[in-house]
Structure formats: C-alpha cells, structure tokens
Structure 1
Amino acid sequence: MYRFIEEHRHEFRVIKMCEVLGVSKSGYYGWKNRKPSKRTIRHDVLKKHIYQIYIQSQKRYGSPKITQVLRSKGCTVTQRTVSKIMNELGIKSITKKKYKATTNSKHQLPVYPNILNQSFKVSGLGSVWVADITYIYTREGWLYLATVMDLFSRRIIGWSMSSRMTKDLVLSAFRKACTIQEPRKGLIHHSDRGSQYASIEYQRISDIT
C-alpha cells in the first residue's frame, strides 16, 4: 500500500490516497522515513524483476523459467525464492486461458464518441471529468481502484475500490465525484470504452449530470 502511494504521490494527493486505501497518513510517512534493510531492498528489487519477466513472457513463465532468466542476467537466486515471491505477488504461469486485468473494449454495448480527440478548452471546475481504473497488488491480493479526476484542477474527486472490476465499482466512484463537486451543465465525461463504463446504468447516470 505505502509503496503504491509513494510511486503515485506526484499524481495524486497523499492524504486522498491514504483515505482511499484505508491507511493512515502518519503510517505512510513512518514507512517512508524508515530505512529499509539490505535484505528488504534485495527482496523488493527481485519482486520488480520477477514481475517484469512474468509480464514480458505474456504471463507464461513459471518459477523455473523465471529463475533461469534471472540467473542468465547474473542474479544469484533459488527457484524456491522465486516461487515464494510469485506467491506473494499472486501470479502464476498461465498456459491455457489468459486473464488480463483490464477493461473489456470488445463488448457489444453502445459507447459514446471520444470527444477528447477533438480540440477544446477546459473552461473551469466541473466541465471535464476523466475516469480511469488502475489495479494494485496488496497483501490481500489484487485490488481495483476506480477514480474520477477533474481535468481543470487535476484533482481526484471520486474514487472507489473493490476486489472485482464491475460496473458498481465505476458507478460508486462517479457518484462520489458528484457528491464532492457539482458537475457543470454540459459536463464532458471521458473514460475508456470498457464494458464497465459502457454499461446502461453507467451511461444513464452520467447522462443525468
């Protein structure tokens, strides 16, 4: 959790991320100011390399192959360690059915045209909102974070988190945004073309605003 906040602190306000992720601000700064041990640093570096190799293999590599790749790059590591870290990350070799933690843009639901491809100016608060979904790894597994950002202020005004990527996730974030900041008449609401955002319920509620 704290590492996610650290990596995104230039994009979002720390206090908002702490609130969304359910951690304290003091806990984050305590973690940030704590000097990590050499063992912790090595473990974190290994995690990054293992996850990178896993993604580059299109999620096909298991611990034996990843261990082999790491050793070819001069990293001294055992397969047992690689297997343990893969379990921590919640990843494993996928040989038959691939799963992508992303929105589905090949659905048959109606979508609105991409207005942001056109030339326009953001006139003020509540005139353009941008919605997005990111996924982060926690000790409890993968979590999905839906956000709504006001493009004029660059502030996150709506958010929601869940272990599943559904229309309710994005609806919750949008409703919170409407509560925190009243949208202007003629609001431009931009999102990707995933099925969550193209759902009838989501388009209906965004049309109301």
Structure 2
Amino acid sequence: MNIPILFEDGESLVIDKPAGLPLDQPRAGGRSLEDYLDDLRFGFQRQPLPVHRLDQDTSGCLLLARNPKAHKRFSAAFEARLVEKRYVAIVAGLLEADEGTIELSLSKISSAEKGWRMIPAKKGKPAITHWRKLMVAGGLTLVEFRPETGRTHQIRVHAASGLGVPLLGDPVYGTAGGAGRTMLHGAGLTVQRETKPAIVAVAPLPADFVALGFADA
C-alpha cells in the first residue's frame, strides 16, 4: 500500500491515511497502520507513532511523531486545542443553512444489541463543531467541519443530531447504504510549534468523493 506523505521534518510526519486502514491491529486479523510503521521510518531509528486517532473509515491527515519528546509535545497541543483541524464530509441530504456552529455535549453508551456509540447528553463532555456548506451534487452536500474539541465520533454525531442529516454511509448514526464507507476526510491539519515553523498539511479529496460529483470542491 502506498501511503502519501503530506509533511515531513525531523520530528514529525503527516500522512494521508487511506480509508479502510485501521490504526490498530483488528481482532479479526488483517492489515493496520502498525504494519507500515517500519516503512515510515525512512532511515530514522524509531518507528513514528500516531499522535491522534482517525476512525478506520476516515481518510486524510494523520500526524505521526518521530520521537517520544515530540509525541508528548504534540499530544499536549491537541489537549490544549492548539491544533487546527479541517474535515470535509458528504452528508446524505440537503441543508437549509449555509454555515453554523453545533454545541452538543457527548456521552458514551453501550448495549448488548448495538455495542457502544456516542449520544448527545447534557451531562456529557462539551463538544463544539463549526461547519460550512461547500457544494451540492446529486442530492448530497459536501460540508466543511472545523471541530474545536476532539471527542470520539464528534463530527458524525454532530452531523446526525446537530444538522439533522447524517454522514453518507455511516452505519452507526445514519444508514450504511449509498457509499462504501462513512464519507469523512481529514482535509487539513495545522500544528503550531514554539521553536519551529508550524506543521501544515493538506490532503486532497479522495477518489470516492470525486466519484460522487465533488471533484471541483
């Protein structure tokens, strides 16, 4: 598998993670990002390690740290909300408004029938997402999401419960049909650093987004 490199320096890599590639080894077996970390050393002594997480279905910008000190600094930047994250997603319908902000606290629940998932809950953890409509094609809408917080499944729940329209292909918060995966893509990542220029990475729209009519977005 060819994993594109979007940014590289002595302490960091940003890769364009392919959709369908999990970060951790699946219980049922199969390939994961762990299988490619040795190839991503590029001559460095240590394997790079992911600083944050992307769902298996989600493609796009993933930051890897090349040493433990960098990993600690980058993790702290994510915790302090000093990282700008830009996602694009295809939602399964049309939106009346052009932009807005969703503030829905989230909580994790679990059941024997459906497994675990996140739900809006007043006593949950605060979650804020800014959104903007980019383009409409074939009854679908391409939306830009800029999350302020980094809660699990934040964009997926905020689309379904905040916008009232789930992400296309989302089997948990919407309907699995219409696409081969949950149509969410990490399009941009900016990480400020104290003594070095910022890490800036941009991931182009994947082929499955383009195939649905969003090539010009």
Question: Shorter-normalised TM-score: what interval?
Answer: under 0.3
Higher strand share: 2
Structure with greater proportional helix content = 1
Which one has the largest radius of gyration? 1
TM-score (ref. length: structure 2):
0.24
